[in-house]
Amino acid sequence: MIDLKTLLPRHHVLLQVASATRADIFRELATPLDADGIVTDLDRFVFDLEQRERQITTQVEQGIAFPHARSAVARSLGLTVGIASEPGLVFSETREPVRLLFLIAVPAFAPTAHLPLLQRLAAFAHDPTRTQRLLACRTPGQIASTLARFKFKAP
Domain boundaries of the chain, sorted by first residue: 4-149
Fold that domain 4-149 belongs to in CATH: Mannitol-specific EII; Chain A (3.40.930)
Between helices 42-55 and 22-35, what is the axis angle to 10°?
A: 140
* Res 94: pLDDT: 76
Task: Give the helix/strand (H/E) hosting 14.
Answer: strand 13-14
* Res 155: pLDDT: 60
Q: Which residues contact 139 (CB under 8 A, 6 or more apart)?
A: 10, 15
* Res 10: pLDDT: 95
* Res 1: pLDDT: 63
pTM, rounded to two decimals:
0.95
| Neighbouring-strand partners of residue 119 | none
* Res 3: pLDDT: 82
Amino acid at position 30, single letter:
A
Please say whether the beta carbons of 96 and 88 come within 8 A.
yes
∠149-49-19 over CA atoms, to 5°?
80
Amino acid at position 63, single letter:
G
Longest dimension (CA), the chain: 38
CB atoms within 10 A of CB 8: 23
* Res 44: pLDDT: 98
pLDDT in tens, the chain (155 residues): 678 889 999 999 999 999 989 999 999 999 999 999 999 999 999 999 999 999 999 999 889 999 999 999 999 999 999 999 889 998 887 789 999 999 999 999 999 999 999 999 999 999 999 999 999 999 999 999 999 999 876 66
Q: What is the DSSP string of 40-74?
A: S-HHHHHHHHHHHHHHS--EETTTEE--EEEETTB
Half-sphere exposure of 120 (CA within 13 A, CB side): 20
> β-pairing, 78-83 with 100-107?
antiparallel
